[in-house]
Amino acid sequence: MLSKKVEKALNKQINAEFWSAYLYLSMASCLDSKGFTGMSSWMRKQFAEEQEHATKLFDYVLDKGGRVLLEPIAKVETEWKDALDVFNATLKHEQKVTSMINDLCALAIAEKDYATESFLHWFVDEQVEEEKNAREIIDVLKLIGKDGYGLYRFDKELAARK
């Protein structure tokens, strides 16, 4: 059984994960409109991954006898100046999500909810990977700069994401 505090916090995270999915779909649209179909494809995969995160939390709350309350998805940004701007925004967002996951872990410990704490470890590890991926892409985009051929090749590389 989840405490009301933990249930409320997990619901907040579920809704945040769905918002994240929506944000990444918006980024995919922006990138596609700039001719970066590979980067757009990468963001579409990110969109699907965020939906999986939300669903994983959703199922956990239900498994623990809680109730999931979905809220309207708030408006997301729709325009970024270039691919580097998109991925800088991605990193900033993932750092925010990391902070939210850390807060959930702290709450689970404070509530002596060790099952939830254990469950959240997967998300802690996932956030390390999410931030790392964004940083690596940012590093490459900075190296490439405005080189058209470099951007073209990197766009094709990101399209190969499984």
Q: Is pLDDT at 162 greater than 90 in this prediction?
A: no
Number of domains in the chain: 1
| pLDDT at res. 2 | 95
| pLDDT at res. 36 | 98
CATH number (domain holding residue 109):
1.20.1260.10
Q: Is 130 exposed, middle or buried (0-12, 13-18, 19+ CB in 10 A)?
A: buried
- Two tokens, residue 43: 């963001």
What is the residue range of 48's domain? 4-159
Instruction: Write down the pTM of the prediction.
Output: 0.95
Percent above pLDDT 70 for the chain: 100
Q: Is pLDDT at 79 greater than 90 in this prediction?
A: yes
Q: Does residue 70 contact residue 12 with C-beta atoms inside 8 Å?
A: no
